[in-house]
Amino acid sequence: MKIIKYKRVAGFLFFMLFAIQLNAQKLILKYDKPASNWNEALPIGNGRLGAMIFGNPQKEELQLNEETIWAGEPGNNVPKNTFGNIEAIRKLIFDKKYKEAQDLSNETFPRQAPKDLNYGMPYQTAGSVWFDFPEHEKFSNYKRDLDIENAVTSVSYKVNGISYKREILASFSDDVIIVKLTADKKKSISFSITSTSPQVLNSVKTSENRLIFAGTSGSTDNKIGRINYVGQVGCILKGGTLTVKADKLFIDKADEVVIRIALATNFKNYKELSENPFQKSEAVLEKASQKNYATAYQNHVSAYQKYFNRVSLNLGDSPQSKKTTDVRIKEFNASYDPQLVALYFQFGRYLLVSSSQPGNQPANLQGIWNHKLSPPWDSKYTVNINTEMNYWPAETTNLSEMHQPLFSMLKDLAVTGQESAKEMYHARGWNLHHNTDLWRITGIVDGGFYGMWPMGGAWLTQHLWQHYLYTGDTAFLKEYYPVMKGAAQFYLDVLQEEPEKKWLVVSPSISPENTYQGGVGVSAGTTMDNQLVFDVFNNIINACKVLETDRNFADSVAVALKRLPPMQIGQHSQLQEWLHDWDKLNDKHRHISHLYGLFPSGQLSPLRTPELVEAAKNTLISRGDVSTGWSMGWKVNWWARLLDGNKAFKLIKDQLRPAPMESKGESGGTYPNLFDAHPPFQIDGNFGCTAGISEMLLQSYDGVVHLLPALPDEWEKGNVAGLKAQGGFEIGEMKWDKGKIISVTIKSNLGGNLRLRSHSKLKGKGLTFAKGENPNSFFKIPDIQNPIISAKAKLIGIKSPKVFEYDIKMEKGGSCTFYAEE
């Protein structure tokens, strides 16, 4: 009896150990070699500070970023005296003189920034801090990893029989980068520390016991670099000695060393550079150095986990998860490795927590990680898809607070954008075009083709309304109402009556970066613009209702809303990209902007607008799968909205292909460090695909919370917890097997009717079959006009899966659990 008991206990312990082991393996990126290039180095960040860690035993590099180190100085880039030409371009478009319209746009806004303007400033690196271990050239037992459950990276290896370890984190609680160096033999740690920077103006010196590096950001176009930064490196030793020379710290025979790097700039806000970076970095370093490493580590981990631990995802496991991450990426397409998808998903959440913290700058094209002075597309904010995509996972993957930096940038843009609205369009409110930067520019960037898109405010303000729909936070809505109103005012003023159907349209504009005839993209009433204005107007009308304010304004918006063009289905049975049926059959362009209506907007639904959905699907098929990283990330979301889990998974496979070696192009993938490749590295694809994985498991739009809407065959069994839905609902836990829900618990933060859509029949307390319109005001369905369908289109109808819809009355703070009906 006793023996059996012991056996059981031992068995249980073994199982637990194995489970813990497996669990410990779960959310880790691991490698058996140092990084040989930047795309193999591992990112850490606390929202403000970022570092890429290379893990080379002999010469460790910490490539550093601080989110406000941008070239240039305060100021907008709005061109003067262009309104006349905008009016002339409008006339040419309505006279069908499209080429002339494009020419005039190019002439008015040349491809090269004119002398007195700039086309946006680059985000820049501060340089690197280096640790030199001259004797660590030959090493064995090498391991390097990034543990995204704790937000810490480690390197370990052996030299001459001594085991060395580095642990590096970007502290969320102390606002410094901390490195802990240990060895399993006393007096073994001897190395030097220095810093280098590619910045033209930079210096490195030492004080009594610190390394101090400083610099000034670059001057470019007609802008002078005015960001000054100071970094301070302090060391605390156990045993050994610290000596300083001109530009180096020397540590000799220490048992253990903890290094802290503080980095600050003079940036106060987009118009003021009045902070003192030396004093700031000194104060932060001194405060952080009071804390011992163990406490600092604990504080960091709990500050990070407060956000990160809200969501868990298990899609299954396989022996692949024992391999190094680079090998798993190489083998992903030919292997069964569902855990890599969960890791990639959680890595996206890790990146958002690490690059976007409340009170800071939003994540730019590379989040916060960039080693260049002149990075691709300046690593700024491209808002005709990229910046928005960065924030798609914010609400759905339960990281609502990480959305805040985007909102506060919007507050700035609602001020700076008044200049472009007034000067270029003689309009009230505010707008921006397809780019902005630290200085909140709102004028045209990259000339009269790429830049002729006055829709940045329309798209970005969707995030304000979405945040409200997920959180129900009316104080937030009130605070940001003026930003939303300013965007709506702009479109009320710029809409033009087109001559044929008398619809109201934005003119001039483009369907982002695409053309409908050689070199010509400028036009009026593109489908995406119509969809965006439709959402801007609906949001403001709904916001006025919630806040019981501005009735007259809402009424005037409602009048214009009725005059927007309907969506159209063209001769190839496609969703028309332009007001006229100009779409090319062989078009493989990476932007499929008119599918904005399908995702992220909720204007199209397989159940409610089947013809439009069929047309959108035809468009998506004809554009093909493989494209830039962000384009594939978007496609995952679209296929999820088309309820095709297997096709969405195919796009995840494309996204998780090893990234091509070329540093440019339109065939994306994933680098060994799990960063998305446009190529080159661009972080939007990480966030887009993370959002897409979430969208495959849970959707909330179309009046319902849809459970497991697009589950691929490969994820037959799994569970997820913590995903969020509109109306303040949250998945407590959802388990499925053989593609069917076994059980689901849903929590309600706001109360109200929960309408569930499920592919499995459910049973449980409080469940009734859904009837009529969802009374929950967070689930209003937009009133979509019937499409105009070309006589040449051949729609064959789409097959929608059989679904069950239920209503449950939820109490605020309550939860409910349902099970599959056998």
Among residue numbers 487 through 516, which ones bind ligand FUC (CB under 6 A)?
513
The minimum distance between CB 365 and ligand FUC, in angstroms, equals: 6
The minimum distance between CB 651 and ligand FUC, in angstroms, equals: 17
- Whether residue 729 contacts residue 744, with contact meaning beta carbons closer than 8 Å, is answered with no
The minimum distance between CB 675 and ligand FUC, in angstroms, equals: 14
Query: What distance, in Å, lies between the first and last C-alpha atoms of the chain?
Result: 39
Q: Which is nearer to ligand FUC, 388 or 581 (CB)?
A: 388
Among residue numbers 425 through 464, which ones bind ligand FUC (CB under 6 A)?
none
Among residue numbers 618 through 677, which ones bind ligand FUC (CB under 6 A)?
628, 630
Q: Is 678 in the site for ligand FUC (CB under 6 A)?
A: yes
Rule CB under 6 A: choose which of 156, 366, 386, 619 binds ligand FUC.
386
Residue 504: partners with Cβ closer than 8 Å, 6 or more residues away: 495, 496, 497, 498, 560, 563, 564
Q: Which is nearer to ligand FUC, 93 or 365 (CB)?
A: 365
H or E, element range at 468: helix 462-471
Q: Is 387 in the site for ligand FUC (CB under 6 A)?
A: no
Q: Which is nearer to ligand FUC, 156 or 511 (CB)?
A: 511
Other C-beta atoms closer than 10 Å to the C-beta of 803 total 17
The minimum distance between CB 628 and ligand FUC, in angstroms, equals: 5
Q: Which is nearer to ligand FUC, 365 or 540 (CB)?
A: 365
CA–chain centroid gap for 216, Å, is 28
The minimum distance between CB 649 and ligand FUC, in angstroms, equals: 24
Torsion of CA 145, 150, 677, 708, to 10 degrees: 120
- Per DSSP, 272 falls in state B
| 406-425 footprint of ligand FUC as x/- string (CB under 6 A) | --------------------
Q: Which is nearer to ligand FUC, 291 or 434 (CB)?
A: 434
Among residue numbers 300 through 329, which ones bind ligand FUC (CB under 6 A)?
none
CA separation, residue 126 to residues 215, 364, 450, 681, 763 (Å):
7, 16, 30, 19, 58
Q: Which is nearer to ligand FUC, 459 or 715 (CB)?
A: 459
Q: Which is nearer to ligand FUC, 365 or 808 (CB)?
A: 365
The minimum distance between CB 377 and ligand FUC, in angstroms, equals: 4
Q: Which is nearer to ligand FUC, 636 or 744 (CB)?
A: 636
Q: Is 85 in the site for ligand FUC (CB under 6 A)?
A: no
Whole-number Å distance between alpha carbons of 429 and 451? 20
Q: Is 365 in the site for ligand FUC (CB under 6 A)?
A: yes
CA separation, residue 702 to residues 722, 779, 808 (Å):
21, 7, 17
- Whether residue 595 contacts residue 609, with contact meaning beta carbons closer than 8 Å, is answered with no
CA–chain centroid gap for 26, Å, is 23
Count CA within 13 A, CB hemisphere, residue 362. 35
The minimum distance between CB 665 and ligand FUC, in angstroms, equals: 10
DSSP bridge pairs for 138? none
The minimum distance between CB 406 and ligand FUC, in angstroms, equals: 17
The minimum distance between CB 629 and ligand FUC, in angstroms, equals: 8
Among residue numbers 540 through 599, which ones bind ligand FUC (CB under 6 A)?
590-591
Number of H helices, E strands in the chain: 20, 36
Rule CB under 6 A: choose which of 489, 609, 682, 686 binds ligand FUC.
682
As given in the structure block, the two tokens for residue 307 are: 């956000």
The minimum distance between CB 767 and ligand FUC, in angstroms, equals: 45
- Pick from 263, 435, 416: which is nearest to 365 by CA? 435
The minimum distance between CB 682 and ligand FUC, in angstroms, equals: 6
Q: Which is nearer to ligand FUC, 110 or 665 (CB)?
A: 665
Q: Which is nearer to ligand FUC, 618 or 627 (CB)?
A: 627
The minimum distance between CB 589 and ligand FUC, in angstroms, equals: 9
Q: Which is nearer to ligand FUC, 401 or 513 (CB)?
A: 513
Among residue numbers 588 through 617, which ones bind ligand FUC (CB under 6 A)?
590-591
Q: Is 382 in the site for ligand FUC (CB under 6 A)?
A: yes
Torsion of CA 734, 737, 742, 744, to 10 degrees: 10
At 70, phi and psi to the nearest 5?
-125, 150
CA–chain centroid gap for 245, Å, is 43
Amino acid at 323: K
- Pick from 621, 615, 613, 619: which is nearest to 801 by CA? 613
Q: Which is nearer to ligand FUC, 266 or 387 (CB)?
A: 387
Q: Which is nearer to ligand FUC, 119 or 630 (CB)?
A: 630
The minimum distance between CB 666 and ligand FUC, in angstroms, equals: 7
Amino acid at 393: P
Q: Is 370 in the site for ligand FUC (CB under 6 A)?
A: no
Return the exposure string of 580-600: e unless at least 16 CB atoms fall within 10 Å of the residue's CB, then b.
bbbbeeebebbbbbbbbbbbb
Other C-beta atoms closer than 10 Å to the C-beta of 263 total 28
Whole-number Å distance between alpha carbons of 323 and 10? 28
The minimum distance between CB 688 and ligand FUC, in angstroms, equals: 11
Q: Is 144 in the site for ligand FUC (CB under 6 A)?
A: no
Size of the site for ligand FUC (CB under 6 A): 11
Q: Which is nearer to ligand FUC, 296 or 385 (CB)?
A: 385
Among residue numbers 690 through 719, which ones bind ligand FUC (CB under 6 A)?
none
The minimum distance between CB 382 and ligand FUC, in angstroms, equals: 4
- Pick from 595, 691, 650: which is nearest to 351 by CA? 691
Q: Which is nearer to ligand FUC, 156 or 356 (CB)?
A: 356
Length of the chain: 822
Other C-beta atoms closer than 10 Å to the C-beta of 112 total 9
The minimum distance between CB 679 and ligand FUC, in angstroms, equals: 10
Among residue numbers 164 through 203, which ones bind ligand FUC (CB under 6 A)?
none
Whole-number Å distance between alpha carbons of 330 and 657? 7
Q: Which is nearer to ligand FUC, 388 or 583 (CB)?
A: 388
The minimum distance between CB 654 and ligand FUC, in angstroms, equals: 16
- Whether residue 93 contacts residue 524, with contact meaning beta carbons closer than 8 Å, is answered with yes
The minimum distance between CB 369 and ligand FUC, in angstroms, equals: 15
As given in the structure block, the two tokens for residue 564 are: 């927007």
Q: Which is nearer to ligand FUC, 682 or 774 (CB)?
A: 682
Torsion of CA 301, 304, 307, 308, to 10 degrees: -70
Rule CB under 6 A: choose which of 98, 229, 344, 377 binds ligand FUC.
377
How would you class 769 by CB atoms within 10 Å of its CB: exposed for 0-12, middle for 13-18, buried for 19 or more? exposed
Return the exposure string of 284-296: e unless at least 16 CB atoms fall within 10 Å of the residue's CB, then b.
bbeebbebebeeb
Q: Which is nearer to ligand FUC, 194 or 220 (CB)?
A: 220
CA separation, residue 739 to residues 120, 491, 806 (Å):
48, 45, 19
Rule CB under 6 A: which residues touch ligand FUC? 365, 377, 382, 386, 513, 590-591, 628, 630, 678, 682
